[in-house]
Amino acid sequence: MNKSVIPQIIELATPIASNLDLEVVAAVFQSNKKPPVLRVDVRNLKTDTSLEDCEKMSRALEEILDSMEIMTGSYVLEISSPGISRQLTTDREFISFKGFAAIVTTYAPYQNKKQWLGLLVKRDEKAVYLNQKGKQIAIPRELVAKVQLDDCQT
């Protein structure tokens, strides 16, 4: 299997997750491991993601993958929770984590810095906004490499 089937995996996993009150956050195929690992990260939409949530998702997705024969060769299916220290990517995540401590990393220096720390205010088409001790900073989106929660500060 190659990484090009990841969009197909996400497309299959999304309605399965939805039926279980879960959301697919990401999927990766780690071909450098023996056997290769297909990891799908899910989040419970109502409460903390539990081991039971991961088990239900694993069983349901495994059944579909086996019946559709998308995955060739041996592999390990791993369902996990992304945890709180993950990278924020969706508009929903930016809204959900408003006010949380965040780290914004830029591709190139912006105002002589490549990393910004502060409380997440919002994200729009133009910028990611942080509150730093009462002062709002707007970091242009085209410079933003990643935004992640600062688990040392939450």
- Residue 139 burial class via C-beta count within 10 angstroms: exposed 0-12, middle 13-18, buried 19 and up: buried
What is the Cα gyration radius of the chain?
Answer: 18
- Give CA separation, 43 vs 72, 79, 102, 108, in Å: 27, 10, 19, 32
Rounded to whole angstroms, how far apart are CA atoms 42 and 10?
A: 11
Rounded to whole angstroms, how far apart are CA atoms 101 and 153?
A: 6
SS (H, E, C) 61-128: HHHHHHHHCCCCCCCEEEEECCCCCCECCCHHHHHHCCCCEEEEEEEEEECCEEEEEEEEEEECCCEE
| Token pair listed for 116 | 């910004």
Domain boundaries in the chain? Answer: 3-80, 91-149
CATH fold for the domain made of 91-149: SH3 type barrels. (2.30.30)
What CATH number should be reported for the domain whose range is 3-80? 3.30.300.70
pLDDT at 136 over 60: yes
pLDDT at residue number 154 = 41
pLDDT at residue number 85 = 52
Rounded to whole angstroms, how far apart are CA atoms 55 and 137?
A: 42
pLDDT at residue number 84 = 56
pLDDT bracket for residue 151 (50, 70, 90): low
pLDDT at residue number 56 = 96
pLDDT at residue number 149 = 85
- Least confident among 30-39, 104-113, 137-146: 30-39
CA nearest neighbour of 81 among 29, 30, 150, 26: 26
